[in-house]
Structure 1
Amino acid sequence: MGSSSKVVRPEEVLDSLKNDGTIDALRMKIIAQLKANEDMKKNTMMMVEQSKVLNTPGAEKKTKRELFDALRQELENPVVEKASKAVWDLILDHDRLGKEITDTVEKVYNRLSGIDMMLPPPSTSGSYQVRERNMSVDGGEKSKEMDTSEPSSSSRKRSYADIITKVAGDVPNGGATNQHDESEGNHK
């Protein structure tokens, strides 16, 4: 096999994922799973019920807007913190959504770098998983060869792990912040 794969920057992978709608689709899946998270719902309801704002004498005399603003000031950080942790748990779950994210990013990385064009056509014998494992081993060895053969670290080919870390880091709270911003607009 020739070394016809090109160097792919994390920004290129992220741009491709944004442009083809993958980021939005993943964000929607994350939001749906957060909304379905019963522990998050129960925890948030418990925090509201135990709120100092609602349990202070005279709270019943305040307007809904005053109560909402005070509740938001009291509970926004702890609720967003828990939601952020739940989002990262989803993203890093290697059995479900995290695996889907990793597989999707890997496919885009392979397509952009030309690796998928260099792979032999799928054979009728052998399992898909065995072929996938063999491809990742071959790709890892090729990446190591390219890393050691190029003299400057700035022109070094980025590993798939570098790309996935960059992409995961560029998606703030997996869309939780956007959901918050939207709900904020609904209450004003």
Structure 2
Amino acid sequence: MKDFNFFDELVVSRKKKTSSSTYILLSAILLFAVLGLISFYYIHQFSALKDENAMLQGQLNDPNHKKAYEEAQSLQGQLAEMEKEKMDIEKVHDEVLASRVINSLLLKEISLAKPDAVAIQAITFTREGVNISGSSINYDLIAKFEHNLRGNERFDGQFIPTIQKLDDEYYSFTLGFTFRQPEEPLEGEDDVNGEG
């Protein structure tokens, strides 16, 4: 059975007061807990960095890694050199395309000016002009070839042929002249110049 205390109702309850030192103590405990967690986190991070540093030091001292690094450096240097050479080649290629005046139309014009009984043995193109060497059975056909070339306004120059009679009834000749590139590309020129 339980005892009943009838006087409990008459007892004035006292309110417990929390002192400021309790708050300070709780704040200090909380601060130490937070500092402890932060310290633990940074210690863990530092330990991971230390392990990673040890691994990287091991890789640096590894001869295979050193060899791979030196090879990568060498390849990087070669790549830079090849890029420079590529730019130089592209520059030269652009200059060649800009200065190219020999095309299929020029050769066609020379072949159209040639009579049938004239054989061309060599055509030499230079920046100064064209030199043609060949042979024919007839002196007059060489003169006709020269005359036909003079009639083309694309060809300029002296057209002074050197004609020599060979022993076997043939004439050999050399002919030199200059040529002009037309202001506007003519039909069929772009394909040979590499621009089409």
TM-score norm. by structure 2 comes to: 0.27
Larger radius of gyration: 2
More helix per residue: 1 or 2?
A: 1
More strand per residue: 1 or 2?
A: 2
TM-score norm. by structure 1 comes to: 0.27
